[in-house]
């Protein structure tokens, strides 16, 4: 060997020595490290790829082009043998599916080795690589078909009737029509639905568990062959259809906002109730199960399983949210408030579950939409509550309630408020936004007892937002009732009307929830008001009648002797006045039996006592012919008052 040859070999030997030394340094560094940084992993991965390529090049130098093509033809024959067969590979048995997977895996490795050669179009192996691509693409299309078929054919039936928090049947099918202030059936309609939280989410098998390992294997193979997008698209398409079918089973229709806004209340009311029920099942059962299935199939491939879950479930969730949005922008009719509150509460209750399901950036659009719909439903609650107060204030009547009874508006408002107490916690949060900065304190006459403080005040003694609005509503109702009382021409009947309605309000507040909210002070104040109207009735109805039984004005002129003529006239006038009151006030109505009896007794004490005293004092001057009724007769007749049925003393059986 010449000196020149030695000189030319020396750099190569030195380079080889450097490479070996570097490799030894890497080996020592790896031996001393327990964890690798992301940068270190990337460098080592690139090094491995480069080494694999160099080995492949070395191997292929001695392999003839014909041998390479023969290997590909063998793989192609195994792959294409199933293309002429209409049966599904995974239905033919485990051996067939295993052999097919081996053939596809061999095709994948074959393509990777040829790609490692970095062939040019002029290379003999280039055409072989293109043919290998076609074989692999055919295999991928078949795997995608098998994947979709297995997902569809092995879908497990979804049976919502077995869910533990199923709504009662009447809650789902009830379609009661919208209620107006004048409708006597509204008390039965003001019933809230239960939206209590289920204790735990439930996971069920949406696809038969026996095929999940096979599905996972196909997904892994397609990803390894860089057909990940095709696999994801196939999966999300099938599962999206399954979710649509789930909503169909739950009887949820795909409705546009315009469809919802045009819907009659009876139908809409039923759909709201179903939406509340469906949301609990869908979020607590179906979505966790859907995410679990995605994790089972794609979990080994990283966070892609979340993307698959989101893409599959997003349309169905947005469909449900679309209905919530439609309800939030619809007319703010007071009758809809309970249903909107049901929707708000169930969505607020489910938000932690939704946030947990749709984590990270992939699910952010679903999370944001759910939070925005909740906010809009809350705004709708506040607007509807405000509209309710406006409706009370503007409720006008042209005809008075017969007999001065309880006005339908009074019944409606008080039953409405009583039902709303079930939503106290939610309303205090929502209505507090309306009153921010307002710090009204309780007045002494409405201050609650210690037992009531938790309901009506906060820790600083500030009146709760809900009570503030309740008091405003009741004050508005009282003002409206004052206006309605003026529809009665008889002042006595005005007082009976106000007494009846205030008494009804007080009795309603005595119920557990409203009592804790309003407090005993408010009840005492309201009791004082209706009792004052009872006294005013006595004065307006009976003062002029009882004045006929007084001593003044029945003496003969110029002497202290009694004028029998005047006495007779007084007695006759009293009987006529009594009969006229009897005739009119038997048609009047005091619905509450106890209140009616109290007014009758109070009236009887005043009238009968005055009559008995008058007749007894002048018994020597009054003949039996002039005594039309005894004191007992009058007392019995007074018991006929306020029963709402017209009577006349001339036709009375007592005469």
Burial of 490 (0-12, 13-18, 19+ CB in 10 A): middle
pLDDT of residue 362: 84
Is 422 in a helix, a strand, or coil? helix
Query: 306, 290 in Cβ contact below 8 A?
Result: no
pLDDT of residue 221: 92
Q: How many residues does the chain have?
A: 655
Match domain 408-431+464-640 to its CATH number in 3.20.80.10, 1.10.287.3510, 3.30.310.80, 1.20.1280.170.
1.20.1280.170
* pTM of structure: 0.77
The stretches in the chain having pLDDT less than 50 are: 1, 3, 6-10, 12-13, 53, 56-62, 164-179, 182, 184-186, 188, 195-199, 436-454, 459-460, 651-655
Tell me the β-bridge partners of 441.
462
What pLDDT sits at residue 8? 46
469: Cα within 13 Å, side-chain hemisphere: 27
pLDDT tens-digit readout, 316-352: 999 999 999 999 998 888 889 999 999 999 999 999 9
pLDDT, residue 350, reads: 96
Q: For residue 24, what are the β-bridge partners? A: none
- 40-to-26, 46, 408 alpha-carbon distances in Å: 11, 10, 79
**Per-residue buried b or exposed e for 171-198, using 16+ beta carbons within 10 Å of the residue's own CB:** bbeeeeebbebeeeebbebbeebebeeb
- The reported pLDDT for the residue numbered 381 is 94
Is residue 288 within 8 A of residue 282, CB to CB? The reply is no
3-state secondary structure labels for all residues of 336-387: HHHHHHHHHHHHHHHHHHHHHHCCCCCCHHHHHHHHHHHHHHHHHHHHHHHH
Q: Hey, where are the domains in the chain?
A: 254-394, 408-431+464-640
pLDDT at 561 (0 to 100) = 66
Tens digits of residue pLDDT in 28-70: 776 666 666 756 666 765 566 556 545 544 444 445 556 777 7
């Amino acid at each position: 060997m010449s000196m020149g040859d030695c000189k030319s070999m020396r750099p190569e030997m030195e380079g080889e020595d450097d490479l070996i030394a570097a490799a030894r340094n890497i080996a020592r560094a790896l031996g001393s490290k327990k964890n690798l940084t992301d940068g270190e992993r990337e460098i080592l991965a690139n090094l491995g790829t480069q080494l694999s390529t160099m080995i492949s090049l070395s191997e292929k130098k001695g392999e003839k082009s014909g041998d390479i093509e023969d290997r590909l033809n063998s793989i192609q024959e195994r792959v294409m043998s199933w293309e002429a067969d209409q049966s599904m590979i995974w239905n033919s048995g485990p051996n067939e599916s295993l052999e097919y997977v081996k053939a596809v895996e061999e095709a994948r490795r074959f393509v990777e080795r040829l790609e490692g050669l970095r062939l040019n179009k002029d290379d003999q192996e280039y055409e072989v690589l293109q043919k290998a691509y076609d074989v692999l693409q055919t295999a991928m299309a078949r795997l995608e078909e098998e994947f979709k078929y297995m997902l569809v054919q092995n879908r497990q039936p979804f049976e919502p009737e077995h869910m533990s928090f199923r709504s009662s049947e009447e809650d789902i099918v009830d379609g009661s029509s919208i209620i107006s202030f004048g409708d006597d059936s509204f008390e039965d309609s003001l019933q809230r639905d239960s939206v209590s939280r289920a204790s735990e989410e439930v996971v069920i098998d949406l696809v038969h568990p026996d095929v999940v390992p096979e599905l996972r294997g196909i997904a892994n193979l397609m990803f390894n062959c860089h057909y990940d997008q095709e696999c994801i698209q196939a999966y999300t398409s099938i599962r999206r259809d399954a979710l649509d079918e789930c909503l169909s089973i739950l009887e949820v229709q795909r409705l546009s906002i315009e469809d919802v806004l045009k819907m009659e209340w009876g139908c809409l009311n039923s759909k709201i109730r179903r939406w509340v029920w469906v949301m609990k099942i869908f979020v607590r059962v179906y979505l966790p199960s859907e995410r679990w299935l995605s994790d089972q199939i794609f979990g080994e491939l990283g966070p892609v399983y979340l993307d698959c879950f989101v893409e599959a479930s997003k349309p169905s969730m947005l469909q449900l949210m679309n209905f919530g949005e439609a309800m939030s922008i619809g007319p703010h009719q007071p009758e809809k408030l309970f249903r909107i509150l049901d929707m708000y509460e169930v969505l607020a209750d489910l938000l932690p579950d939704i946030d947990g399901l749709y984590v990270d950036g992939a699910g952010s659009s679903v999370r944001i939409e759910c939070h925005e719909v909740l906010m809009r439903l809350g705004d709708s609650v506040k607007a509807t509550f405000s509209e309710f107060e406006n409706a009370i204030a503007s409720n006008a009547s042209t005809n008075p309630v017969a007999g001065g009874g309880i006005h339908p508006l009074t019944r409606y408002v008080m039953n409405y408020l009583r039902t709303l107490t079930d939503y106290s916690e939610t309303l205090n949060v929502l209505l507090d936004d309306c009153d921010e900065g307002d710090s009204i304190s309780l007045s002494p006459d409405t201050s609650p007892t210690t037992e009531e403080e938790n309901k009506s005040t906060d820790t600083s003694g500030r009146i709760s937002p809900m009570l503030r609005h309740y008091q405003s509503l009741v004050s508005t109702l009282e003002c409206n009732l004052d206006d309605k009382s003026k529809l009665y021409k008889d002042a006595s009947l005005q007082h009976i009307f106000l007494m009846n309605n205030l008494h009804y309000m007080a009795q309603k507040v005595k119920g557990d929830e409203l009592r804790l909210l309003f407090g005993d002070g408010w009840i005492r104040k309201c009791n004082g008001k209706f009792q004052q109207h009872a006294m005013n009735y006595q004065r307006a109805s009976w003062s002029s009648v009882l004045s006929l039984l007084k001593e003044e004005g029945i003496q003969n002129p110029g002497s202290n002797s009694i004028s029998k003529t005047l006495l007779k006239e007084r007695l006759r006038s009293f009987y006529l006045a009594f009969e006229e009151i009897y005739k009119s006030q038997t048609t009047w109505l005091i619905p509450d039996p106890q209140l009616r009896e109290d007014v009758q007794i109070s009236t009887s004490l005043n009238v009968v006592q005055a009559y008995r005293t008058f007749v007894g004092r002048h018994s020597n001057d009054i003949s039996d012919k002039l005594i039309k009724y005894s004191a007992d007769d009058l007392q019995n007749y007074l018991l006929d008052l306020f029963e709402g049925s017209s009577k006349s003393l001339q036709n009375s059986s007592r005469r």
